Structure 1
Amino acid sequence: MRMKGGWSTREIAEFAGTTLKTVRHYHRIGLLEEPGRSANGYKQYGIKHLIQLMRIRRLVDLGVALSDIATMQESPEGAERTLRALDAELAASIDRQQRMRAEVATILRHPELIDAPPGLEVHESGLSALDRTFMLLTSRIFEPEVLDLMRAAAAEPPTEVAAEFEALPEDATDDVRQHLAERYAPEIRRHAERHPLVTEAVDKVRAGGDPRTQPVLLRAIVELFNPAQIDVLQRAYAINYPDETR
Structure 2
Amino acid sequence: MAWSTRELAELAGTTLKTVRYYHRIGLLDEPERGANGYKRYRLSHLIRLLRIRRLVDLGVPLSDIEAMDESDGNAERTLRALDAELKVSIERQERMRKELALILERRSLVDLPPGFDGDVADLSEVERSMLMVFSRVLDAETMDAVRELHAAPRHPAQAELDKLPADADEATRQRVAEALAPVARDQIEAQPSLTDARTRVALSEPTVLSGLVELYNPAQLDVLRRLNTLIEKKEKGP
- Report the TM-score range of the alignment, normalised by the length of the smaller protein: 0.7 to 0.9
Question: Structure 1 stretches of 5 or more lacking a match?
Answer: 208-213
Which runs of structure 2 are paired with 1:72-83 in the superposition (5 Å)? Answer: 72-83=68-79
Give secondary structure in 2 for the equivalent of 1:204.
helix
Deviations along 1:149-175, one digit per CA (max 9) or x if unpaired, are: 111112221123223322323332221
**Could you say which residue in structure 2 is the equivalent of 1:211?**
none
C-alpha distance in 2 between matches for 1:94 and 1:183: 47
Shift of 1:206: 5.3
1:213-232, aligned counterparts within 5 Å? 214-232=205-223
Question: In structure 1, which of residues 50, 61, 67 is the aligned counterpart of residue 63 of structure 2?
Answer: 67
In structure 2, give the amino acid aligned to 1:9: T
Q: 1:59 and 1:233 mapped to 2: Cα distance?
A: 59
Aligned mates of 2:203, 2:148 — CA distance in 1: 22
CA distance in 2, matches of 1:103, 1:193: 30
Partner residue of 1:235 out of 218, 226, 230? 226
Q: State the Cα deviation string for residues 65-94 of structure 1 (Å, max 9, x = none).
A: 112221222233332332222222222211
Q: Which 10-residue stretch deviates more, 103-112 or 198-207?
A: 198-207
1:29-68 matched pairs, under 5 angstroms: 29-68=25-64
Query: What is the one-letter code of the residue matched to 2:219?
Result: A
Q: List per-residue Cα deviations over 1:25-70 (Å, max 9, x = no partner).
A: 2122221122122233322110111111111111111111112221
Q: Which moved more, 1:165-174 or 1:60-69?
A: 165-174
Quickly say closer, same or farther: Cα 1:139–1:127, change in 2 above 3 A. farther
* Aligned amino acid, residue 120 of structure 1: F
Q: CA deviation at 1:241?
A: 3.1
What amino acid sits opposite 1:137 in the alignment? V
Runs (5+) with no aligned partner, structure 2 = none
Give me the identity figure in percent: 51
More moved, 165-174 vs 133-142: 165-174
Secondary structure class of the residue paired with 1:147? helix
Deviations 1:90-118 (CA, angstroms, capped at 9, x unpaired): 22211111111111111111111111011
- TM-score under structure 2 length normalisation: 0.87
2:201 maps to 204
Match of 1:132 in 2: 128
Contact 1:106 1:124 in 2 (8 A): no
| Structure 1 residues 222 and 17: CA distance shift in structure 2, 3 A | same
- Between the two structures, name the one with larger relative contact order (CA 8 Å, sep ≥ 6): 2
- For 1:223 and 1:197, the matched residues in 2 are separated by 26
Equivalent residue number for residue 149 of structure 1? 145
Distance change in 2, residues 1:217/1:67 (3 Å): same
Shift of 1:126: 4.8
